[in-house]
Amino acid sequence: MMDLARQLSLAAGDAFAAQGLDTSLGAMRRSDRPDLADFQCNGAMAAAKQAKANPREIAQPIADALDASELVESATIAGPGFINVKVSAAALAKQAGAIAADERAGAEMVETPRRVMMDFGGWNVAKPMHIGHLRATIIGDSLQRLFRFRGDDVTSDVHLGDWGLQMGLLIVGVSEEQPDLPYFVEGAEGPFPEESPVSMEDLERLYPRYADMMKEFGKDPASGEKVPNPNYRPEMRDLARTATAELQAGRPGYRALWRHFCEVTRVGLERECASLGVTFDLWKGESDAEPFIPEIVEDLKSRGIAELDDGAWIVRVDRESDKKEMPPFLMLNRDGAVGYHTTDLGTILDRKREQDPQLTLYVVDQRQALHFEQVFRAADKASYMPEETLEHIGFGTMNGPDGKPFKTREGGVLKLYDLIGQANAAARARMGGISIDESLSLDEVSDIAHKVAVAAIKFADLSNVRTTNYVFDLEKFIAFEGKTGPYLLYQAVRMKALARRAKSEGVEPGAIVIELPEERALALALDGFEDALAGAYDKRMPHIICDHAYNLAQAFSSFYKAAPILKDGVPDAQRASRLALALAVLKQLELALHLVGIETPERM
């Protein structure tokens, strides 16, 4: 269905065409001054500039034509030639009725769907998800939900960090602690044990312990000065490199042990994903790009795209138009090893052949912008994938109250599992301060508390402009008032309670009639859904959906106070109209929340 802005744009476009002018001049947008008008058209200003005429003279016949439309209550000229439009109550009622009857609540689909690859998550094997992984995970999930809803064919890939020196280091660590395992027998072909010899807790302990052994110096805890590391083992880096090389060369025992590392890590990752309501289509990793590396190296060398520079093979990706220095893409370092540049190029080639995406979005920290620009330029130069089809969706950091990246009180990185636990506990405590349905069981209360906790975490993040940093304040975000996830859940549950009561009393929704200012404001808020979704989709900015959801909930709150529905004495037709309006809001609000990954409970 078509929103009011497009309907008015078509009507204004016809009016401009009748004057021999371009129909695109009729474009309408929501007014910056809703106290003066609902929509505004600036086309007369542009037309006057081209024709060197008085814009008010051009605007007058356009306003007169709009005044005659059944969509418009009034069309007036303001300032030098702005056309302000107030929509008629009949048009608002018709639009609200259409939204109420539409299963998509007024949302359109893209005209030309695309095959879209979403790369987000990006966690490392052998490391638990921590708070630093939160933004990539929930921003990426929101975008995959939005793009699917708009009609695109989306494939999401977690792209695990499962390859490289850290894997060799873990193999060395396990070999020292459990040297008798069959994985370390020289020349062993298997079969090897199906049960993993290490748990996730083992991996969490092993990696930092052995990584520390590769550091010659550390910092004195008191002074912060550089001091010799007592745990340093000079041979550890070489041992890790050798193990990594043997793993990548296909040594059966190391490959079997590595698969255990990946599997036990995935169990924990899937637990956190399930807790957040996040899913992936693919659980591929950097290792899946490995088979493509030799082909890429040979191809780029043979075509002269890669060149030898001081012992390393590079691809120059700088351009004359660059305003800052653009370092080359590093294909092979002086030791002949590949890094993230080449691995990411291998992943692009893999995806090209498997999914052939028309657009790939990389939801990764903004600090990786230079890396992705190098990779995208190299992919374009190699004719693997056009640069314009590859986008880095960067984001700012989630900071603590001190304005620095979030840490625990002890100074460590907070695990995501612990954050969710803290949010659950805070939600239970806050729910004690509101009126809770006494018929709910303990399990139901626990489930509701978890939904409130997830809503608090996700809305706190996604309601911010993606590219900015923000301060995470759990006490503030868990509140049931203000611009928070719990507030939106509370409003949705209120609407559901109203719907249940209406059904029990035999009240049915009917034709919508717009009479009160609050009804008018609510109908206009409902009509803004498509515009919000289009903006969030085009700009890759989920906060636009969050803003719409919050504004809709606020408009409903004002409507609910001013327009009683089930109160005694309300005429039947008015009751049916207001109930229909409330149900349309509930449907749209739940849909908007779903698109940012928030599930609404039935009761609270």
CA atoms within 13 A on the CB side of 564: 7
Report yes or no on 62 lying in a domain.
yes
Picking from 37, 19, 150, 22, the residue whose alpha carbon sits closest to that of residue 524 is 37
Strand order in the sheet with 82-87: 28-30, 39-41, 82-87, 72-78
Phi, psi of 306 (to 5 degrees): -95, 145
Contacts of 61 (CB under 8 A, 6+ apart): 15, 18, 19
- Tokens 């037709």: give the residue: 573
Report yes or no on 381 lying in a domain.
no
How far apart are alpha carbons 466 and 138 in whole angstroms?
Answer: 11
Phi-psi map region of 285: left, alpha, beta (phi>0 left; psi -120 to 50 alpha): beta
Q: What does the pLDDT read at residue 172?
A: 97
Q: At what angle do helices 236-249 and 252-276 cross, to 10 degrees?
A: 90
Picking from 260, 129, 149, the residue whose alpha carbon sits closest to that of residue 597 is 149
Q: Which two tokens stand for residue 441?
A: 């069981």
Question: At which of 72, 87, 102 does a domain end?
Answer: 87
Q: At what angle do helices 572-595 and 89-101 cross, to 10 degrees?
A: 60
Domain hosting 269: range is 164-280
Same domain, 466 and 585: yes
CA 347 from centroid of its chain's CA atoms: 21
Contacts of 321 (CB under 8 A, 6+ apart): none
Helices (H) and strands (E) in the chain, counts: 20, 15
Question: At which of 242, 258, 280 does a domain end?
Answer: 280
In single-letter form, the type of residue at position 19 comes to Q
Q: What does the pLDDT read at residue 407?
A: 65
In this structure, are residues 155 and 231 in contact, taking their beta carbons and an 8 Å threshold? no
Report yes or no on 70 lying in a domain.
yes
Same domain, 73 and 173: no
CA atoms 149, 150, 152, 156: torsion sign: negative
Count of domains observed in the chain: 3
Report yes or no on 335 lying in a domain.
no
Same domain, 433 and 567: yes
Report yes or no on 289 lying in a domain.
no
Q: What does the pLDDT read at residue 435?
A: 65
Report yes or no on 93 lying in a domain.
no
Q: What does the pLDDT read at residue 375?
A: 98
Contacts of 308 (CB under 8 A, 6+ apart): none
Q: Which two tokens stand for residue 291?
A: 């088979």
- Tokens 């003066």: give the residue: 36
How far apart are alpha carbons 294 and 279 in whole angstroms?
Answer: 32
Same domain, 568 and 469: yes
Q: Which two tokens stand for residue 400?
A: 């603590």
Phi-psi map region of 122: left, alpha, beta (phi>0 left; psi -120 to 50 alpha): left
The pLDDT tens digits for 85-129 are 999 999 999 999 999 999 999 999 999 999 999 999 999 998 888
Q: What does the pLDDT read at residue 314?
A: 97
Report yes or no on 375 lying in a domain.
no
CATH number at residue 66: 3.30.1360.70
Question: At which of 56, 87, 118 does a domain end?
Answer: 87
Same domain, 579 and 433: yes
How far apart are alpha carbons 383 and 114 in whole angstroms?
Answer: 20
Picking from 536, 531, 579, the residue whose alpha carbon sits closest to that of residue 556 is 579
In this structure, are residues 193 and 158 in contact, taking their beta carbons and an 8 Å threshold? no
Q: At what angle do helices 4-18 and 89-101 cross, to 10 degrees?
A: 130
Q: What does the pLDDT read at residue 431?
A: 86
How far apart are alpha carbons 113 and 109 in whole angstroms?
Answer: 8
How far apart are alpha carbons 515 and 195 in whole angstroms?
Answer: 69
**SS3 state at 421:** helix
Q: How far is CA 462 from CA 142, 153, 262, 364, in A?
A: 9, 23, 30, 15
Report yes or no on 520 lying in a domain.
yes
Same domain, 443 and 591: yes
Q: Which two tokens stand for residue 563?
A: 């327009």
Low-confidence ranges of the chain (pLDDT < 50): none
Which segments of 306-372 are extended strands (E)?
A: 307-309, 312-315, 329-332, 359-363
Same domain, 453 and 583: yes
**SS3 state at 601:** coil
Task: Fill in the DSSP letter of residue 130.
Answer: B
Phi, psi of 132 (to 5 degrees): -70, -15
Same domain, 186 and 271: yes
Task: Fill in the DSSP letter of residue 39.
Answer: E
CATH number at residue 468: 1.10.730.10
